[in-house]
Structure 1
Amino acid sequence: MTVTATVPATAGGLGTLYVYGIAPAGLRTPRVPGVNGAPVGLLTEDGLCAAVSAAPERPRPRRRDLLAHQAVLDELAAQGPVLPMRFAVLTPEPDTLRAQLRSDRAELLRQLDGIAGCVEMNVKGTVVPGCVEELLRRDEGLRALALRTRRRPGYEANVRLGEALARGVRQEARRAAREVLARLAPLAVRTAEGPLDDERVLSTSFLVRAGDEPRFRREVEARARAHGDRLALGVTGPLPCYSFVDARPAPAGR
């Protein structure tokens, strides 16, 4: 077993480290500065490496540090698969991280193999409130409720109609979201669902082969045109594959 540590001089090889991601050994050390402006180094153990820097005293999600975290991951991902850490993952000392790389080696390599050559694309869809006329045209029950409300207007009648229309609009948006998902899922290796609410009716991450990204974007654009009266679509990516990995270095005791 070969153990190599190229850690930032400011870390002194000791103390709490900030961890950006885990990748196969042999990568170039990122040149961009890390969180809090700290230089980034690679801690290598048994065929794997972890990108690390000296941990700030109190990591805070400031924009410059979030961007620095992302920039380090982008530089690593440009060289091959990387298991990205969320912002502010710490490990108490280098030996703790080395031990985990050894003990979890088989699982980490399996995950790296699973995302090799892929990127994460995230698609969100929110309700468009402007399809009321179409709803009334197609829904006999809503038309009847709207007619009764016009004939006998009043606060309670207006509330009932408003609630019914809102439910109908959400149902239309959810139906469109299911149709979008059915068209996009075959273009991905895997999918991962995110949280939904009354307004956000689609939130899905797609593990897409890097070469298929242009085709995936074109399909999102086509679905946005087809369903734009019911569903507002947005796509973000390429992203590190956060939704498709489970890399969890031992956290610092704090």
Structure 2
Amino acid sequence: MPTYIYAITGADHPLPLGGLHGVGDPPAELRTLRTDLLAAVVSEAPDGLRAKRRDVMAHQNVLEALMAGGATLPMRFGLVGPGDDEVVAALDREADAYRERLAQLDGRVEYNLKAGRDEDDLLREIMTESDEIRQLNERTRARGSHDDRVALGELVAREVTARGQREAEDVAARLADAATHSSHAEPAPQQFLNLSFLVPRAETDAFVAAVRREAEERGDAYSFTLTGPLPPYSFV
């Protein structure tokens, strides 16, 4: 029987699972698998599991209850092992690595920051600062050459990418002191930044204030979206 895995904790971690239930319809019963050093909160894996709100919330509620009691390695929704014996074997086999990661995550939460910039504002800046692009744009407007239009589009696209990368690096560097670690992910179209931060729980207010200052300094042409506190998925 496949085993659905919610989280891994230390063997002495509180496991306040009363009143909680697992994923599935009807909801699966939660249980724990233990070794001398670690514990995993699991349930039976229902057939055909999909990311329905009911099941996502059940998964999230388990993680929140565990995180309130200390360091927790949260598993992403939908993680299934072959069976209980295999999960226990993995806990034994990877005990040192799991315990090291639990120590790193102890007392910390994740925040995700996404940032984008108004396209017209960015293009105006590029035209103002790049003589090559400005001259090619004027030539394209005057003659309408297909080759010039293609070259202009390629130049602008490269400059947009380069400036986005520089701005992402700048934002990450300016916020680095407010977090313990960071983890980059591919930004969505129209965004230049998708960055997760590992933040000490006691310092979350200071981190949020630092992000707010960064957004205010960059002005209305920028959009910053901060989500958290979250289970530290990006750092497991």
2:197 partner amino acid? F
Cα distance in 2 between the residues matched to 1:100 and 1:144: 62
Q: Residue 33 and residue 135 in structure 1: after superposition, are their counterparts in 2 closer, same or farther (change >3 A)? A: same
Cα distance in 2 between the residues matched to 1:168 and 1:200: 14
Q: Deviations over 1:89-130 (max 9, x none)?
A: 223333333333233323222111111000111222335312
Counterpart position of 2:8: 22
Q: Secondary structure at the match of 1:223?
A: helix
Q: Deviations over 1:214-252 (max 9, x none)?
A: 22122222222333566533222212112222xxxxxxx
Counterpart position of 2:163: 172
Q: Secondary structure at the match of 1:186?
A: helix
Task: Give how far 1:160 is off.
Answer: 4.0
Percent pairwise identity:
35
Aligned-CA RMSD value: 2.5
Report which stretch shifted further, 146-155 or 63-72: 146-155
Describe how 1:49-68 pairs up with structure 2 within 5 A.
49-68=39-58
Q: Secondary structure at the match of 1:144?
A: helix
Counterpart position of 2:23: 35
Contact 1:117 1:210 in 2 (8 A): yes
Report which stretch shifted further, 158-167 or 130-139: 158-167
Report which stretch shifted further, 30-39 or 226-235: 226-235
Aligned length: 231
1:225 partner amino acid? E
1:17 partner amino acid? T
Cα distance in 2 between the residues matched to 1:102 and 1:155: 64
1:238 partner amino acid? P
Matched, 1:133 2:121: no
1:98 partner amino acid? V
Cα distance in 1 between the residues matched to 2:32 and 2:210: 38
- Segments of structure 2 that go 5 or more residues without pairing to the other structure are none
Contact 1:19 1:53 in 2 (8 A): yes
Q: Secondary structure at the match of 1:121?
A: strand
Task: Give how far 1:139 is off.
Answer: 2.1
Contact 2:178 2:210 in 1 (8 A): no
Task: Give how far 1:185 is off.
Answer: 1.7
Task: Give how far 1:152 is off.
Answer: 2.7
